[in-house]
């Protein structure tokens, strides 16, 4: 909203003080709106009228930004919840499934499913590698426990994937 109001104000060549005078609002109110406050009722109508724009355009833009921020936060929560594998076997699948099930349908759910499929694939690879580790130990005739090498390697890979997706 703040950039939208600023863009329309600059398009008309108005200063904040001129917009305040034209809309009948205080300068401080205009400054608050441009810094992110969501105007309601009379304030929204006055700003829209002064900027010669429909009030729905200003309000819809803000709603979409807030919703996209919420979606991003939800996705980050689903992604970070995959760290539950550190405490709970298959927690990297169980906890995100529970969080994903509570999400409304839409792009958040689709991306969440992709994050979940990565964790399922990681769990399958981990299970297979841990299952064949004793055989690898015998075949390689090494004194280093291969099972621990595989486990630590895959745990660090999963941590990297989770943290990379969180940023």
Tens digits of residue pLDDT in 32-56: 888 877 788 888 888 888 888 887 7
* Residue listed under structure tokens 């703040």: 2
How many Cα neighbours within 13 Å face the side chain of 37? 12
The predicted structure's pLDDT at residue 152: 93
Phi, psi (deg, nearest 5) at residue 53: -135, 155
What lies within 8 Å, CB to CB, of 25 at 6+ separation is 43, 46, 47
Cα dist. 87→19, 95, 117, 118 in Å? 56, 11, 20, 19
Q: Does domain 2-53 have CATH number 2.40.440.10?
A: no
* Low-confidence residues in the chain, pLDDT < 50: 1-2
Interatomic CA distance for residues 89 and 96, integer angstroms: 13
pLDDT at site 59 = 61
CA 61/CA 58 separation, integer angstroms = 6
pLDDT at site 149: 92
C-alpha 72/C-alpha 99 separation (Å) is 14
Question: CATH 1.10.260.40 spans which residues of the chain?
Answer: 2-53
Q: Find where tokens 């689903």 sit.
A: 78
Q: What angle do CA 75, 79, 81 make, to 5 degrees?
A: 115
């Amino acid at each position: 909203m703040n950039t939208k109001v600023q863009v329309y104000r600059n398009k008309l060549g108005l200063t904040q003080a001129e917009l305040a005078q034209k809309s009948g609002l205080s300068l401080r109110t205009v400054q608050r709106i441009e810094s992110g406050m969501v105007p309601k009722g009379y304030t929204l109508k006055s700003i829209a009228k002064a900027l010669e724009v429909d009030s729905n355009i200003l309000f819809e833009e803000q709603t979409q930004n807030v919703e996209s921020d919420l979606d991003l936060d939800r996705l980050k929560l689903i992604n970070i919840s995959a760290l539950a594998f550190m405490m709970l076997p298959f927690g990297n699948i169980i906890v995100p499934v529970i969080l994903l099930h509570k999400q409304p349908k839409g792009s958040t759910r689709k991306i969440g499913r992709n994050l979940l499929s990565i964790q399922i694939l990681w769990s399958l690879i981990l299970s297979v590698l841990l299952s064949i580790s004793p055989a690898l130990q015998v075949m390689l005739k090494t004194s280093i426990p291969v099972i621990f090498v595989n486990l630590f390697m895959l745990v660090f890979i999963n941590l990297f994937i989770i943290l990379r997706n969180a940023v």
